[in-house]
Structure 1
Amino acid sequence: MIENTPGKICLTSDLWTSINTDGFLCLTTYFLDGNWVLQKKVLNFCIMLPPHDGVPLAHKIYTLLCEWGIEKKIFSITLDNASSNKSFIDILKTQLNLKKAPVSDGDFLHICCCAHIVNLIVQDGLKEIDEAQVRNQTFLGCCKQVSLDSKMGLKQDVPTRWNSTFCMLQSAIYYRLAWCSLELSDTNFKHCPCPSEWEKVQKIFIFFGIFL
Structure 2
Amino acid sequence: MRGILYGVGVGPGDCKMLTLQAVEVLKMADVIAVPDTKGEKTAMKVVEEYIKDKEVVYCPMPMTRDSDLLEKSHGISCNLIEEQLLKGKNVAFITLGDPTIYSTYMNIQRIMDEKGYITRTIPGVTSFCASAGALNISLCDRGEALHIIPASYGETEELLDLKGTKVLMKSGKSLADIKVALKRKGLYQYSRMVECCGMENQRVYKSLDEVSDDSSYFSIIIVKDK
Q: Is the structural similarity TM-score above 0.5?
A: no
TM-score (norm: length of structure 2): 0.30
TM-score (norm: length of structure 1): 0.32
Higher CA-based Rg: 1
